[in-house]
Amino acid sequence: MNNFKDIKSIYDNQKSQEPTEVPKELKKRIKKADRLVNNSHIKNIVILSITVLGIVGIDQFYFTSTSMLFEIGIITMIMALVIRITIELFSYRRKKNLNILRQSDQFISDLKAFYLWRKKIHKYPTYMTFSLYVIGVGLLFIEFYKYLSAFWFNFFLVEFVVIIVVLIFFIRKKIKKEINTLNEMIELYEI
Amino acid sequence: MNQSFNTLYKENYTKVYRLCLTYVSGDEALADDLSQEVFVKIWQNLDQFRNESQISTWIYRITVNTCLMHLRKIKKTQEKITDQVPERLCEDQEDTKDERLKMLRACIKKLNEMGKILISLVLEEVPQKEIAEAVGLSNENVRVQIHRNKGKLFKCMTSKEMQNA
């Protein structure tokens, strides 16, 4: 090894094949990327919007005569979902605005800023929207108390508490994992 | 899929693949995956190419940025790959070539991210001006950094060869 030319000759000696046409796998990937619904934020927005519509529908057409407390519960649940949809929309917009055509140094700063922002919105807004939703469902329970027998009321209450506890456990675990990943990413872009 | 994209793919796939392959220290599956991702991005942004720079510079920029975007995936995969430097160089000429290439990749892996990017582009014979344009550094800064990283690479290669001697 005498100079950089020797290194270059090692590099040039590697075998490489010239493609004859665009492979099917790439064509599939392009088609998939073109579809908007493949974006995870859009998927979340669609699911959350359907849930909002479901809640509004049930409130309008099923529970026709309800108390003020019940309506506040419904509104609280809808508010939680709307906040989450707004956050997802912002995330989608910010991700979409990452411009791969920028010069690499600027692109690195953009990526870092994006992950810092995601870290910021991940923790407290998630807990806040979850709490709002739980409060909303809790208010509905007060109304259910009037209509359900003691057995069924207690049955649904216990079920509700169990679901909440399990969800808190999973959400905490997921947030912790996501924050660790984001910290790792932010550190990686300290180039 | 239009004809211009097909031509673009045929003319540039090898370069893109080799760049990715060097950047990911020889992991062929990951390099192929990243190369495909690069062409997805090219397809999505083709209408934004304005002939202000050469198409090659534009493609290099997308390639480098795609690799940067998947830095975590790359690091995770690389953690699984142990240092690929062979114990001894083989007698057989073809094997020696392969082993020297592995040695080169192992040395490139030791450079920092910008060093890896610059050396990958230098090895692909991308002109310095185009490199500066793609990565967003001044010509002078690129020249200094390339010189520094070539030195590191050369030092690493020589010490590995001495170990094998």
The answer to whether B157 faces chain A, any CB pair under 8 Å, is yes
What's residue B52's pLDDT? 72
CA dist., res. A7 & res. B34, Å (int): 24
pLDDT exceeds 90 at position B20: yes
Confidence of residue B4 (pLDDT cuts 50, 70, 90): confident
Q: Per-residue pLDDT tens for B100-143?
A: 888 899 899 899 888 999 999 999 999 999 999 888 889 999 99
Joined tokens for residue A32 = 């998939």
Q: pLDDT means per 10 residues in chain A (191 residues)? A: 84 82 89 77 92 91 81 94 93 88 90 88 85 91 84 90 92 89 83 65
- The full set of domain ranges for chain B reads 3-164
Confidence of residue B41 (pLDDT cuts 50, 70, 90): very high
Higher pLDDT pick, B88 / B79 = B79
Confidence of residue B91 (pLDDT cuts 50, 70, 90): low
Answer whether A12's CB lies under 8 Å from B14's CB: no
Q: Do A10 and B72 touch (CB under 8 A)?
A: no
Answer whether B105's CB lies under 8 Å from B86's CB: no
Joined tokens for residue B57 = 């510079």
Min CA distance, B14 vs chain A (Å)?
Answer: 6
Joined tokens for residue B121 = 């582009």
CA A26 remoteness from chain centre: 27
What's residue B90's pLDDT? 52
What's residue B138's pLDDT? 92
pLDDT exceeds 60 at position B87: no
ipTM of model = 0.81
Q: Per-residue pLDDT tens for B54-69?
A: 888 899 999 999 999 8
Joined tokens for residue B38 = 């690069």
Name which of B75, B82, B65 is nearest B30 in CA terms: B75
Q: Do A16 and B97 touch (CB under 8 A)?
A: no
CA dist., res. B121 & res. B65, Å (int): 13
What's residue B92's pLDDT? 60
pLDDT exceeds 70 at position B82: no
- Residue of A26, A36, A112, A182 to mutate for B, most B C-beta atoms under 10 A: A26
The CATH fold assigned to B3-164 is Rna Polymerase Sigma Factor; Chain: A (1.10.1740)
The answer to whether B134 faces chain A, any CB pair under 8 Å, is yes
Q: Per-residue pLDDT tens for A22-48?
A: 889 999 998 888 776 667 888 889 999
Q: 11-30 in B: which are within 8 Å (CB) of A?
A: 13-14, 17-18, 22
Confidence of residue B81 (pLDDT cuts 50, 70, 90): low
